[in-house]
Chain A
Amino acid sequence: MAWSTPLTATLNGTLTAAQFNSSVRDNLNASEASIAHFHQGASVTGGLFFATGANALDQRGVYSDSYTNASSTTSTSYVSLASAAPAVAAVTGTQALCWITAGLTNSSSGSNSFMSVGVSGASTIAESDNWCISIDGLLTGSSVDSFAKMTSCHLFTGLTPGTNIFTTKYRVSANTGWFQNRSIVVLAM
């Protein structure tokens, strides 16, 4: 049911059932209280409301995932690590804000390590250096040493509304890149 501008009552005017249904029932059903529900599962709070058109709302929310242990790659093109990504499946409209965070290092002080994010599911957007986090020129690192932790934010546009899966991917320019304390946060809009 869609929103319609509430009628203006007039003195001695008759309020019909159709008018009540349109101006009261249908408008209440289009309001945020009627739409509101737990964000995820049966108990997670924090749903947010976004305008999806004139006089139209939908509930969206924040999704996150993380993985602590250090993992590595020697791939010079973006790949998943052997351990969990992290990744989230988010119900989005056409846009989403995405933050990625990790501690990065490389086994060679002259090499880069990169972390980015791509989208699959309802949409397909390849991970890219344009929205990565990356280091270069750190002291020689290992699985337990010389990590620099950083974060980055990117607005994904042109998504196909529905369930979109945001997956972190990793690469290096050379040698071995290590990544720890990885996380992803997606604000679906």
Chain B
Amino acid sequence: MAWTAPMTYTSNTPLTAAQMNTYLRDNFMETMTAKATAPVGDQPGGFFTTIGTNQIVERRIVTARVDATEQTASTSYTDLDTIGPQVTVETGTAALVMWNARIWNTVTNAQSCVTYTVSGDSVIAPSDTNSMILDGIGAENKWQAGCWDYTKSLTPGTNTFTLQYRAGGAGTAAFRSRFISVWPL
């Protein structure tokens, strides 16, 4: 069923069943209320966004968290022992991605970096362009902060967002309290 601009009724003109179905029944079925579904588990309830003219769809904000302290000496983005955190969600062509972590390095003035990658119907490689980077502080000094990115180059469908990590070449980058939130649009 699709939305149809409601007809303009005129005096003394019968309202047919077909008109009732098209302009009332079918249009009601295109409203947020008709499309609303119950929240799943501990994830937030759906919100609504437009996907075209007179078209809306319910999307779900998804989040995931990994608290374990893990580390890497890899200078290219990689998974830690516990992959992620990671979320899989239905998206359109865009999404708002937010992430936090506590970050440090085993040596002074060495980089520790965390960003996201996308797999599934889309493939977006991790990049320093939108990474959260810690640098220039002392060994074992810990910072906890967040970062965000808006991507509009997704292939609509099922996409998996995963945090990945790298070190800067010297020392070992360490991470804990890792969190990701994705708003599919």
Contact = CB atoms under 8 A, between A and B. Distances in A.
The answer to whether A and B belong to the same complex is: yes
Contacts of B137: 136-138
Contacts of B52: none
Among B39, B67, B148, the most chain A Cβ lie within 10 Å of the Cβ of B39
Nearest to B100: A152
B152 interface: no
A24 interface: yes
Interface in B119-170: 137-138, 141-146, 148
Contacts of B47: 48-51, 189
> Dominant SS at the A interface?
mixed
Interface in A128-186: 129-138, 148, 150-155, 157-158
A75 to B, nearest CB: 18
B25 A189 contact: no
B114 to A, nearest CB: 13
Contacts of B141: 136-137
B3 interface: no
Contacts of B48: 32, 49
A36 to B, nearest CB: 10
Contacts of A49: 32, 47-48
Contact of A134 (B45, B63, B143): B143
Interface string B16-36: 111011001100110111101
Given A9-B21, A23-B24, A150 B38 contact: no
A16 interface: no
Interface of A: 3, 6-13, 15, 23-24, 27, 30-32, 48-57, 93-95, 97, 99, 109, 112, 114, 129-138, 148, 150-155, 157-158, 189
Question: 6 nearest interchain CB pairs?
Answer: A137-B141, A150-B145, A51-B36, A9-B17, A136-B141, A9-B20
